[in-house]
Amino acid sequence: MKNIYIVILPDLNTKKYLESLRSKLVTKYDLILPKHPLHITLRSTFKVKNYNFLIKDLEVYLKGKQSFYLTTKKISFFAGNTVVAEIRNKKIVKDLAKDIVKIAQKYKVNEEIKQKKPRSLKKSKYLEVYGDQFIFEYYKPHITLLYNKNKEKFNIDLTRKKILCDSVAVVEKIKTDKGFNHKIIKIIKFK
């Protein structure tokens, strides 16, 4: 079985800008660089037996999609230690994520759930059915930039960047002795 997740990768200009920002922040605040590529998650990690049929379904679905732009909003913190770039104009990416979650569900292998049990009944149901509580109306599009081992909060001005979204990537999360590696399996362009 494979652990995979589905994402939007930022365009080259946005990627360069965010990588430069990460480098400055790592040095200035003693932060940790994630091993995964910069991305906006559409469907968080789930197990599949074979991702080839999932990729075919994604290709069919994305064939009718038009590219679109998102804009970075500000730097914020999730769960105290995750430094993220929040995303503006969320509706279009939330709609895309909703459809991607539903497509992925057909191929998801049931597994033991490792997320903290939510207080909300609806989130509990999502966790039980989809293996993720942060979907649909609870989904918050963002780009994880860094991890903050000190949980120290700081203010950073984030230059608003337009992100061209013209494809979706299927990424494999591979367990190693030293944590996880992330391998892009397929980039599927919108038609």
User: For residue range 34-87, what is the model confidence (pLDDT) as tens digits?
Assistant: 988 999 999 998 999 999 999 999 999 999 899 999 998 888 888 778 889 989
CB atoms within 10 A of CB 28: 10
2-189: CATH topology: Cyclic Phosphodiesterase; Chain: A, (3.90.1140)
- Asked if the model's pLDDT at residue 105 lies above 90, the reply is yes
> 120-167, pLDDT tens digit by residue?
888 888 878 887 877 888 888 999 999 888 767 777 777 788 899 999
Give the separation between CA 112 and CA 98, rounded to whole angstroms: 22
pLDDT of residue 139: 86
Sign of CA dihedral 79, 143, 104, 110: negative
- Asked if the model's pLDDT at residue 191 lies above 80, the reply is no
- Per the CB < 8 A criterion, the answer to whether 85 and 158 are in contact is yes
Which residues have CB under 8 Å from 165's CB, separation 6+?
A: 8, 40, 67, 68, 69, 70, 93
Q: What is the pTM of this model?
A: 0.88
pLDDT of residue 53: 95
Beta bridge partners of 162: 71
- Asked if the model's pLDDT at residue 94 lies above 90, the reply is yes
Average pLDDT of span 24-31: 85
Closest CA to 54 of 112, 122, 1, 91: 1
Average pLDDT of span 155-183: 88
pLDDT of residue 188: 95
Burial (CB < 10 A; 0-12, 13-18, 19+), residue 120, is exposed
Give the separation between CA 56 and CA 188, rounded to whole angstroms: 10
